[in-house]
């Protein structure tokens, strides 16, 4: 029987997992250490949400072992598309739900619960919306409200399913900045994303899923490779690098030879830079 290591928060050994007897991922071997910031990438249906929910204990394990360190507090932020926004609940009530989940033996909300909820809402910049119905908020504000629900319980491990889906560029940047700050404060963060350029390429570690398994695991420079991406997404991908920046584009069908598996240096593409405001 496998045991979790001293410096491990999560350990998956030869795991096959899925739902209702259907295997979504096979032979998954994964280690997550405290303090990591990890992105899970792959096409729709590749098992990203399934893997995330396995860490919550909400996925059937058909083979292998999935272990989470004892006494680990886990926070979870679902996809916004799965939320019923017509449910009559305020932002503060959404955040307080996360507090209640940490100790279900006490069925009422305490003064300290309200204080902690207000602290989290201030941290996320949504305190002014505390008594506003959640359905009246923008997509980014709704996402931060559910992030607040996860954070109010002071998690050690924060799991987020597509946290930047459906938000504008500015809000995406703000959410990522908040996650980086949480990670710097000691929270282990694992998120799924479809955004290879705006999100995944900026994370220190990526896990790429495809063909019902883990195709690659490592820094973006190793995972965002043409061969890995073609296996994952089923089409040739163009990878452009500039220093620490990586950009991924699907290869147009009329571009012969562009899918030979080479990452292009930035000098082979046109870069349109923002104007220098000092020269204005």
Number of Cβ within a 10 Å radius of residue 205: 18
Q: What is the CATH number of domain 34-58+71-228?
A: 3.40.50.300
* Rounded CA separation 238/258 (Å): 7
Q: How far apart are the first and last CA of the chain?
A: 66
In this prediction the pTM is 0.86
Domain ranges of the chain: 34-58+71-228
Alpha carbon 182 to chain centroid, angstroms: 13
Share of the chain above pLDDT 70, in %: 85
SS3 164: coil
Contact yes or no for 28/51 (Cβ under 8 A): yes
User: What's the pLDDT tens digit per position in 233-264?
Assistant: 999 999 998 877 888 988 876 655 555 455 55
pLDDT in tens, 4-51: 888 999 999 999 999 888 999 999 999 999 999 999 999 999 999 999
pLDDT digits 0-9 by tens, 55-104: 988 899 999 999 999 999 999 999 876 667 677 899 999 999 988 765 55
């Amino acid at each position: 029987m496998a045991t979790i290591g001293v410096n491990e928060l999560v350990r998956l050994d030869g795991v096959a997992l899925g739902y209702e007897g259907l295997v979504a991922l096979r032979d998954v071997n994964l280690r997550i250490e405290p303090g990591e910031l990890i992105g899970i990438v792959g096409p729709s249906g590749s098992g990203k949400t399934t893997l995330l929910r396995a860490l919550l204990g909400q996925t059937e394990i058909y083979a292998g072992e999935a272990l989470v360190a004892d006494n680990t507090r886990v926070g979870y932020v679902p996809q916004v598309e799965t939320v019923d926004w017509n449910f009559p609940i305020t932002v503060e009530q959404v955040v307080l739900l996360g507090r209640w989940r940490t100790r279900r033996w006490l069925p009422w909300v305490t003064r300290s619960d309200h204080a902690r909820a207000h602290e989290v809402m201030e941290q996320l910049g949504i305190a002014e919306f505390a008594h506003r119905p959640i359905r009246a908020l923008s997509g980014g504000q709704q996402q931060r409200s559910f992030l607040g629900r996860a954070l109010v319980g002071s998690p050690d491990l924060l799991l987020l399913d597509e946290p930047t889906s459906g938000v504008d560029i500015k809000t995406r940047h703000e959410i990522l900045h908040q996650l980086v700050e949480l990670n710097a404060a000691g929270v282990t963060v694992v998120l799924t994303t479809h955004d290879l350029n705006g999100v995944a390429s900026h994370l220190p570690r990526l896990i790429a899923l495809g063909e019902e398994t883990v195709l690659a695991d490592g820094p973006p420079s190793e995972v965002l490779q043409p061969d890995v991406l073609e296996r994952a997404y089923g089409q040739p991908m163009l990878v452009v690098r500039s220093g620490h920046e990586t950009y991924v584009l699907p290869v147009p069908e009329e571009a012969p030879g562009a899918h030979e598996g080479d990452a292009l240096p930035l000098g082979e593409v046109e870069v349109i830079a923002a104007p220098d405001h000092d020269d204005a």
